[in-house]
Structures are given as C-alpha cells and as structure tokens.
A and B are shown apart, each in its own frame.
Chain A
Amino acid sequence: MRQRGRLHGQALCVAAFSLLSTIPGPVIAQSDGRWKSGEEVYVKVCGRCHESGVGRVIKGRAFPPQAYGAFVRHGHLAMPSFRSSEIDDRALQALGEFLARAPISTQVDGDAERGFALVASGAYGCAACHAIPDIRFPKGNVGPPLIGMAGRSLIAGQLPNRPDVLAAFLRNPPALAPQTGMPNVGLSLEQARDIAAYLYTLEAPNGP
C-alpha cells in the first residue's frame, strides 16, 4: 500500500513539473497586499504542515520557483490547493523565490535541557530500549545506544539525520520507518524538538 502511494506521488510530481515547464511564471503581478513577503506566506501557511513534521520538508530542495507555485495551486496528495484569493499571484511568486533559495533548516529549535528532562522522566520509555549516556538506569538494549547521535548519518538506519527529520521521527516513528519497533509514544511537536535538541548534544565518545 505505502509503496504504491509513493510511486503515485512521484508520478504526480513528474507530471506537475513537465506541465509547469511549459507555463511561464506568474504573468500578472496581482497583489492584494495581504502578504509582505514569500517568507511570511511560508511561515504562516506552509509551515503549519511543512515545519511540523506533518508534510515533508520543502526548504532547501532547490526546485525552480514555479514548481512551488504549481503545488500550491493544484495541491498534492494530502496537500490542499490554495486559490489566488488566499495566496495572490505575487505572493506566490515571492514564495517560490523564497523557497528556491531557502537553505535546509539545520539549526535545532528545541531546548536540549527540557528535552533531557523529558527523556529522564522515563514516562516515554526512551531508556527502556536505548542506552543513554546521562541516564544510569535503565540502560535499554532493544534499540541502538544514543551516544554519538550528534554525528550519526542515518536515523534508524534509513532516514537522513537532520533536525526536522529526527523530530518528525520521534513524534511518529512508524510513519517514517514502517518496520521499526519503536512505538509512537505521543510526543507533541515541541517535545519532539526538545528531545531532538538533546540528542544532538550526544557526541561520539572519541570526538567527531
């Protein structure tokens, strides 16, 4: 089921691209003046899903600016479409330009100390499965030790180790890695970010 869904998505993606390359960018710069910048649109609209682990990461993927416009106007899989009464053409163009240039957010916007408190509380069971350097008991041995998370290449052996991906994985592990044994323990987005921030403080023992 999942596999088919993904292929489906890719096909749509390609279709959207080829369609777009024939259309010139937004022709008339209509603006109702509601949006001040592409970034504002991103933060207030797109970010709801694309910064919260619901939708995938769209920053830093360097699509052509119009590509973003196509997704916005037509929607994509679970993503709804947005009309020009919601995001006007000029704001859409600004959004595309903003996203085409935006770097991946690599900074961790969680609070490591709060993250550690959540881990140490034991309520989410992290240490029942993982050995965690700052926790004496329990030292779980079901999943991998978490020492060195800061420099590890892959999360769960299969996902790129980036802050946004890690936070999304912590929130709902089986959604990103269907075969994992790690359950969804009901973290909020903020909690997941805090724990991710804590995990990025765990350097490998012999330095990087």
Chain B
Amino acid sequence: MGSGSSVNVNYKYSLQKSENAFKAAVLIQRWYRRYVARLEMRRRCTWRIFQSIEYACEQDQIKLHNFFSYLMDNFTPSSSKERDFISRMFISGESFKEAELEKYCDYESLEVPDSYTGPHLSFPLLPDHATALLEAFKQKQQLHARYVLNLLHETRKHLKQLPNISHVSTCYSEEVTVCGDLHGQLDDLFLIFYKNGLPSPSKSYVFNGDFVDRGKQSLEILIILFTFLLIYPKEVHLNRGNHEDHMVNLRYGFTKEVMQKYKLHGKKILKMIQNVFCWLPLATLIDQKVLVIHGGVSNTTDLDMLEKIQRNKFISVLRAKKRKELNRNVEIKEINGESQAEPDSAGNETMSSLPSQPRPAQAPSMANRVEFSRWVRQTVQEQIEWCRKLVDISDSEEEELTCSSLVSLTDLDGPCWTRQEEWKQILDILWSDPMPQEGCRENTVRGGGCYFGPDVTGKILEKYNLQFLIRSHECKQDGYEFCHNRKVLTIFSASNYYEIGSNRGAYVKLGPDLVPHFVQYQANKTAHTLTMTQRISRVEESAFRALREKLFAHTSALISAFKVYDKDNTGRITLSNWATAVESVLRLGLPWRMLRPQLVRSTADGMLEYKSWLDDLAMEQRSQEHIQSSLLEVIYRNRSNLETIFRIIDRDHSGLISFEEFHQTWKLFSSHMNIELTDDGINDLVRSIDFNKDGNIDFNEFLEAFRLVKQSQ
C-alpha cells in the first residue's frame, strides 16, 4: 500500500514536472519569438531609413538644377575672371576627335620601370594574364598606368564592333550567369568567381552595369571585367548601367578614386574610360527570350530603335541636347554678361528684362510618391518654361527637356545628338524602376527614366515574345527580388551595400530551360561571425548616424516646427507632436514613433525634451563652434551638391581648387541659399578649418570636416 501510494506520488510528481517543463518551454518560446519580431521590425526600419535617405539624395540633383538656373538668372559677372569661372560650370571639358583621343591617351610612351612589381600585360591577352591580375589585386597591387591605358584602348576597339543588343545562347555554354550592380566592391566579385568559377568557354557571364562608384575598387573591377571580356569575347557580356557615365562618376566617387590611385595619368585614364563607357552595349538577350537591361523599360521602349541607335554618341545621358547655332550664341552672350539689347518703340536699345525665376512651392511629403512626383514635375516644368524663355527656344523641333538634362547644362563643344527620342530610349533603359501600380510615370525622384507598372512589362514581353526581364539598379535585402508576377527579376550583386550586414548579394544562373537558380552571399567574414542581433545593431547604428546628421542639418526648421506646439517655450513636446513636426520638416516618410526610442529620450511623464535633444545633436559635430550654426546647417544639407560643384570646377581633377574659386563658389551658393555671408565670414570659414595648402584648398578635406563624429560606444 505504502509503495502504491508512493508510486502515485512519484507519478504525480513527474507529471507535474513535465507539465512545468511544457509550460516553461511555451513561455521561453513566447518570449524568444517576441524578441525576434522586434529585431525584424528594427531591421525593416533601418532599411527604410537607408532607402529614404538614398532617394532624398537623388533629389539633390533637382536642387543642383535649381542652382544652375539661378546662376543663369541672377548672376552678372563683374569681371572677366568671374565670367570665366561661371562659364566653366556650363561648358564641358574638351571633347576629342578619334585621332586626338589616341594621341592624348597614348600609352606607348609610358615606360614601365624595373622597380615595378605589379603584373605585366601583353596583347592579345591570355587566361594567365587574368589570373595574374586577380592575384595581384588580392595582394592590393596596382596595375601600371601604361597597361591600364593599353587595356582600355583594346577594350574600346573590341566594344566598337559589338551591336547595341548582345545575344547569348544557352546551347553553347549550358548555363549563363547574370550578375547585377557591383559598385566597386571587389570582394563581391572575388566571391562570385570563387563560388561560380571564372569565365571560360563553358561558363558564360552577363554583367548588368553599375560596375563603378560608391565602392573603393571600381577601377580594379573594370580592369578585371575588361580583361575577361577580351579573353573570352563570346562568353562575357557587359551591359551599360547608369553609373557608366562620367557625370554620375563626378558625384559618386569613381572620378575621385581614379585620381587618387593614378596621380600622374589619372586624367588620361578617365578620358579613355569615358570613351569606353559610351561603347558598352545597352542590353543583352538570352535565347531571344530573356531581356537583360540595367534599369528597366518604359511604355515607349522600342528594341528596334535601340538596335539602330549610335550608342556611342551618348557619352553622358545626363546632358542636354546641343542647341542650334543661333541659340548657342545667345547662351554664350548671356554667360559672358552681355545683355540682350532690344530696341523699344522709340528705337532706343533697352536691356531685355529676364523673366524672373519661378520659385517652387512647398514640396509634399515623400511618403506619398504620387503626390511628390506630381509636385516635382510641375516645378521642373516651370523651370523648363523659364529656361526656354531665357534662351528663346522657338524651334520647329519639339524639344522636351527633362529635369536630368538640365542638371548639367549645355554641352557647347560636345558631340551632336541625333534625335531626342533616341536619348529617351537609352535614359529609360538605364534609369527606370518597376512599381506595383499600373501605368508609366516619370521617375522624378531619380531625375531620369520612368516608374513602370506590370501592364508596361506585359506589353513589352508580348510585343517581343519574351518570357521575362532581368534588371538591376535597386538594392534588395536578399540580393534578388521578383515583381510584376515574376515577370521582372531584380538582381543585385553588391552585398553589404549600405553597411556591413545590410543585405546579401546574389547572382542568377539560367539553363536552357530558362528557370532561374539563385546563389546568395555576403562578402564579409565579420558578417558571418556576428549573431543576428549584432548584425542588425551594426547596420542600425549606421542608419541612425545618417539620420542624426539629417536631423542636425535641419535644426532651425525643426525648432520652428516644435515651437508651434510649445507656445510656452518649455522646451518639451508630446510624442505625437514631435513625430508630426519631424515628418513635416524632413519629409522622409519614416515611422517616427517606432524610431523614437533610439533618437530621443522621453521623460518620466512621457514628454520629449526637444531643446536639449537638438543641443546634443549639435555637440556630436566636431568642434566648429566658431562657425555660425545656420551656416553649418547649410553645409550639411548641401554637402553632396557642393561636392559635385567643386568637382565640376576642378577640371584637372586634382582635388584642389584655388582659394579664389572656393570664395566665388561660396559667394554664389550662399546668395542662392539666402545666407548672409561677408567676405570675412568666408575667410573665417577657411581659416578655422585650417586646410589651406599653398593658396589651394583640398575640398575633400573640407567636406570631410563636415561629417558627424561616430558616437562612442
């Protein structure tokens, strides 16, 4: 009896225990799943931050356009020096005829010294050269300028024979591998070759553009791709991307990279590359069924026209059409400060009054893309009308200048365009993005190309009897993404694009059945050893740093917005009002309530102390206390535009501009921005940063000085 009851007790006890264990397990699982969900939310918010800032940056091009228009309108050069200075912004560099180019970019006279330990190239190239190059770049060696130029010459010769649309067939080399944006991230290319194998007669590759900019090894990637292109011309195919464009390179880092690596011959190399990019094919067709283009399509995309265009005429897609002779003279006169004298009714010559530049109305929030697009289009349209009046375009030819064409102004010495429609064809192919909604509208955020809907995709596929499109151009968290009911595939090969751990890269393989197989990767050893939490935290930190910089750049506007809700000037505000105010100023369409905990402390009673918060933000900045805070804000807000302007002025790509040029640029810019800045103010600015070098200013250093310091751990 005793034992019986003790068995019962034991049984009850163990039952209780397993019940407890069960309950405990449920609890732990419940808790853990909640933890993971919060991480997921943080990850998405971080992604949103990066994307919204990236797109906001692209809007800078619109601001730049406004600035140039402003110059045309308001600036009357008071001296020949000023005249020269201004005209430099409007006139491009010298353009070369074929023979001149060969002479300017001559490499044969370049001697390779005995002390050179890098790889040697001889032509025609052999597979051994490729492996030598790969090895050399892994060892961080640099290819001698002579070989670089030689390679570029040969590449150009080869590309010239290729049609605008390359054709690839899976029956020759069973599989085709398509790679997306690489953006100078050499480690990703190495990883792709490691996982997938080098190009060879049995291994075809298509590289879908954007080889350069942003990453630090754009030139090495070009060298490797061009080398393989020459060794295996039948198996390696390159498409042009929107970053294979020297106007874009000025802004996004490639120009800088080349000049830093090749101080003596960088300019030649850049000139040569310009003339190689324009010869890159525009698209690739796989088995006549899969169209591979960098950006996308539009409702006017015409493959027959694309095949016939003289693609090399479009060195940069970000340039306006050359005006006719008549208008050109008008422009030059304007630039040189000579007025357009018109006789009035009394026969006296009077100054023609320039139409005043229309001021754009307040922009709607970015969260509503449709509204935003509409606003931009309207603003741009106004600007265009005004520009037309200025230069008196009364042509027979219907010219439709778009925003991007006005970003960099008339190329007075440059090549002549053929038709406007041809330019649009290329622009659309290189710059468009898919959207979920039906239709086709101008991609005013990027400043070029379209947003195209599933109906546009459907029509193109039907018209040309295609199965699906492959494109790149947009960063995707998993390296690839389908849309339009699996008819459009985005493939992106630059992993960790925003920050270590931000996204995977991927490539896609197609066999004769044209069924896509994906391989994803992340090129960073650290990324692998980090836990999910650590990875997300890192990327998050980076995103928030960028966001804080943006907030700082709008300090004055934020204070005004907050004060509306804080009439008593207590320095405090509710969460709800804070979120509304911040969005009204920054217009990034971000989930501010979700982001709040990592941006600003809340007090015990749930209020936010905005005054001390903004002060803290300002303190993160390197000590530039002696510089007027509103000036600082302007510099932050316009840093990338300032950089672009500097680079345009810096014609020989030395990274230096004279103090006078800096002074002039600054004067112009500040008057455009309506900032009071005396000559003394500018001198103070220069002196305080202490980067004067022999009367020249290293503008890289200048720009570096205005980045928020990393918040210490």
Chains A and B belong together in one complex: no
Which residues from chain A sit less than 8 Å from chain B, CB to CB?
none
